[in-house]
Amino acid sequence: MAGGALSLLLTASPGMAEPARPGGAAAALTATLSDGTEIARLPVPEGGEWCVLWRHSVQGFEVADCYENRGGRMVLMRSHQPDFAAGLGHIPGRGRQASDGDGGYWITGIEEPVPGDAYVLRAGSMAVDHRLSAGGATVSLSERAARARIRIALEPAT
């Protein structure tokens, strides 16, 4: 269910690329609560990648949406989905679907800029365990703020 909501947010404004930020190469991926409390900050250099990971709320398998810092912009690059379960699936014309060799599939070549370089995610319980993973570090958003509204953003490094 969370994956479907995330996909809806990301597809709401397809093709709305914004110009690169001047000097936008150095950036940080942040997770912030509605009251402004920052619960995660991970460095993401130019060309660096990160993924939002979670366990599907119905089927229990891991899902991943992976992004890149492209000129200081958040760009959705690929998604891994082990099944066509509730809320998941490939949208024709949005990337290429290919087998992962293990019964699931990757959707690659999405290359979709995220409007405003941020989106809102409602973190699931620990059974779902929404996580941010970048540069070898993984932070559980569910552990820090289960069921809370969290803004995930790529921001210029300060």
Interval 91-148: pLDDT, tens: 566 678 887 888 778 888 999 999 999 999 999 999 999 999 999 999 999 999 999 9
Tell me the C-alpha to C-alpha distance, in Å, between residue 115 and each of 5, 14, 96, 100.
15, 9, 21, 29
Of residues 50 and 9, more confidently modeled: 50
> Hey, what amino acid is at 54?
W
Name residue 5's beta-bridge partners.
Answer: none
The answer to whether residue 18 sits within a structural domain is: no
Question: How many CB atoms are closer than 10 A to CB 143?
Answer: 13
pLDDT value for 7: 31
* 77 located within any domain: yes
**129 in any annotated domain:** yes
For the chain, what is the domain count? 1
In which band, very low, low, confident or very high, does the pLDDT at 26 lie, cut at 50, 70 and 90?
confident
User: Is it the case that residue 5 has pLDDT exceeding 90?
Assistant: no
Indicate whether 23 pLDDT > 70. no
Whether 19 is in a domain gets the answer no
pLDDT at 100: 81
Q: How confident is the model at residue 6 (pLDDT cuts 50, 70, 90)?
A: very low
- Which residues form the domain of 133? 2-11+24-156
User: pTM surpassing 0.85?
Assistant: no
**Per-residue pLDDT reduced to its tens digit, 54-100:** 997 776 788 899 999 999 999 999 998 876 654 555 556 667 888 78
**Positive or negative: CA dihedral 30, 8, 48, 136:** positive
Of the pLDDT bands very low, low, confident and very high (cuts 50, 70, 90), residue 8 is very low
Q: Give me the mean pLDDT over the 12-25 stretch.
A: 41
17 assigned to some structural domain: no
